[in-house]
Structures are given as structure tokens and as C-alpha cells.
A and B are shown apart, each in its own frame.
Chain A
Amino acid sequence: MYGVDALKEMANTIRYDAMKAIYTVGSGHPGGSLSAADILAVLYFHTLRIDPQRPKWEDRDRFLLSKGHAAPALFAALAHRGFFPLHHLLHLRLHDGMLQGTPNPKIPGADSVSGSLGQNLSMAVGTALAGQLDGKDYKTYVLLGDGELAEGQNWEAAMLASARKLGNLIGIVDYNQVQMCGTVEEILPLGDLAAKFKAFGWQVYEVDGHDIQKLVELFDALPNQPEGVPKMIIAHTVKGKGVSFMEGQAAWHGGAPNQQQWEQIQKELGGGSL
């Protein structure tokens, strides 16, 4: 439905609106929202088989955001896709808002509950397994952070996914190399991540997570296999992508920009819809 240029524009809009939400309410997680924005734009405006009028449609593709703190970007994507009005973003994380700090199933379009890291690969396995058992042809996508891969539950889930031949399961690692208190290398190195998932029985792909064209091509090329090998896409990204002073900075994992910084962000991102 969207061409590559329109997807690029949407990714930028998602970035801008997520930052506007964080700036407005005074808290949130900019870095991981910005690194995931291009992936979310491609999924929600090109790849996913979804219908905003029927958020619980049984045959929809599922998307689970395991790195739940990137919710501002997910919520911006959901709002623009038509699941709920945009203005909710300006009450993100607030007591009077519909949008909690992290996703949960009460939010239209959200397919999981996350926020506690390391849990959604398991939920995605359950989701994909339900589809397999029911003979459905939907795909289940789950976006993982790199830092949260330190949680052992991911690797329990990775084993079960290949044991159950969940070819309808597609993981994406937002491999931005930076977590809350430092780089992944400093905190707990992941080593050869592709080799790890391969050893767990997954088909592994690597892609530039900011190259819209390549993301489109990769998602288009993934076969739909109710029974097959689970797929893991390692998307190489930049934490804070698109905002110069946030890029690669652990300091911008969490926190809100001040007014001066917000003015700078507006200049760099060029204006969204909020």
C-alpha cells in the first residue's frame, strides 16, 4: 500500500510523533523508539495483514513488541494505521491516558503484554503455536531488543520454537548495540548472535534496519510456512537514529528532551503530525 518513499516519510512521522509524546509528557524511552521506527513503518504500512477496524480479527498477522519500552514508536504506528486517534499519544504514560508505558492487550492493535524484558519471544511462540494448531495462515512477528537477549527465557523460547517447527514465527532483533547502562559489549556481549540463533535451529537473516528498501524486500521474501524453520532477522540499527545528539548514546535510553533539545529534534526530523 505504501511505496518506499512513503514508508520513509511514515518512519520519520513515527519518530517525530514518538518524540513529541515523550517531550510532552516528560518521560519515556527515545533511543529504542527511534532505532525501531523504520522496522515498525515497514511492518505496519507494508507487511502486516491487519485491519484497524477489526483489531482482534482472527486471521490478522500478529506483532509483539518485546522491548516494550519502545511503546511510543509502536503507539505512533498504531495511531497512524488507524487503530486509535493520535491525540492519545499526548497522554502517554499519564494517569488519565489510555496508553500505558508499555503495551497491553487492552490497547487496540496491541497483540501482547510486555514491559518486563525477555518475555515476548515466549508469547510469540504461544501465538504462532495457536495459529499452527488452528490451521491458520497468519504470521507472528516479534521485535526483540538486543540487551534483553541476556534473559535466558529467550533461549528457552528459541528451543521450543524450532522443536515445534514454527515456520510462521519471525523474530526481529533491533540490534542497536546500546542498552540502558552502556553498550551491549560493555554490559554482556552477545558474541556471534547469528551463529547462536542458527545453533538453536533458526534461519537467520541480517539487514540494515534503517534501509527501508531492504526491509521491504526481506519481509516480502520470507516464505509463509505454518510448519517450517522459525526465522530471525538481525536488524543492525542505531540507537537514537535520526536525532544527532541521541545517536549511539546510552544516556538517551530513557529520558525526555528539554525545550531546547526538542527544538533541535523538530529541526532534524522536520515535523510530524502532532
Chain B
Amino acid sequence: MYEAAHARPDGESTVARLALTAAEQGYEGLVVRNHGDAEAGYDPDAIGERYGIDVVDGVEVRAGDRSRLAGLIGSHRERRTVVCVHGGPHNRLVCEDERVDVLAHPMRDGDVNHVLVRAARENGVRVEFDFGRVLRTVGGERVQALRGLRKLRELVGKYEAPYVVSADATDHLQLRAPRELLAVGESIGFDREAVRAGLAEWGRIAERNRERRADSFIEPGVRRGRYEEVDR
């Protein structure tokens, strides 16, 4: 199972500290999803090797207007393994863009409906179940977060759209172990296995995108083989 978190300067902890904590908690991987305007300088392979965890270079693209957002998605897609987009008013644009891997916290400042969830499924955009506000807020804000999660859960279930689950941590103190997220998910109405699948999905995205970025990749199902040089 994988988790995705924000590191310094987007959060309070360095990538290394997040990786160390996540590894201790039993995660197999950590996606660094700093916002595009607060990137962390780090070496994913070196940190991953040191703490025995797969560190994935990701990004959470954020922009005010639509045209800039589309441009940023394109430029980050070429450089990053996992491209998330900060959800909100542009949810629709994001769901219709197949270059996007994850629509992050779509319910925080925005909304989704059946059209968006269907578009997300067709374009392979995972919608995120953000447990962050369930774990860290109280009162009305938490009720809203729970209401949003429920609506999203019903739509995602209905249209069988792909999804990921995350605690959206911004420091090592906000990370929660997989078992804890399963328990929280269960108590707010999720199926345990669904939460597990949502945590594992980050890993699948990373694996698929690494394969696609590899030099031997041409298109899905077609890769450059070992006889290519000889045939020419």
C-alpha cells in the first residue's frame, strides 16, 4: 500500500522524514505530491533506498485559471511519475484530461456529479477520497467532509470509477498507518477492502507510469524488443 503526502516547503517535514515514518507504518511506497508552486528538491531513489520504501516523484498541479492549468498539466506530465491535480472549481476539466492520474480532494472546494465521474472513468482519472479532513477537523467542517465522501462514494460505486485513498498529510505527524485508515474508513461507511484497494492504487499508477516512461515503451502492449537493432 502507498500513501501520498506533501513535503517541505509545501508541508512541515522533509521527504526523508515522511519516508522514514511511512516505512515504519508499513507502507510500501510514498508519493510526494507537493503543489506545483512549492516543489521539494530531493532524490527519490536515494531516500527510497535508505529507508526501504518506494519514493515516487509526484506533483499536485494547482492553478487559478483553466488555460494555465492545462498548460501546467502538460509540462508536469513530461517530468513527473504521478500527476495529481488540485480539485476544486476545475474538476470537470481535470476529469476530461487523460494526462491526469489523480483528481485530488474533488469535494473540498468543488463538487462532482455523474457526468464528471463518468468522464473520470473513461479517461482513467482516479478520484481521491481525501480522509484528511475526517482525521483532522471537527464539527461542521468534518460533517461537510463526510457528506462529500459519501456522495463521492456513491457515484464512484455506481459508475465503477477508479479511485485512490489518502490522508493527505502535510507533515509526518499527520501520516496514519494503513490499518488505521482501514479502521477509520470502516467507521465512516467504507468497505475495508475498498480502502485497501484505494491505497494500493497509488502503487499501480506509479508502476504503470514508470513502465510508460521507460525507453523501451512505444504504446500499451508494444515495446521495443531486443531484436530491433539487428532488424534494421
Q: Note whether A and B form a binding pair.
A: no
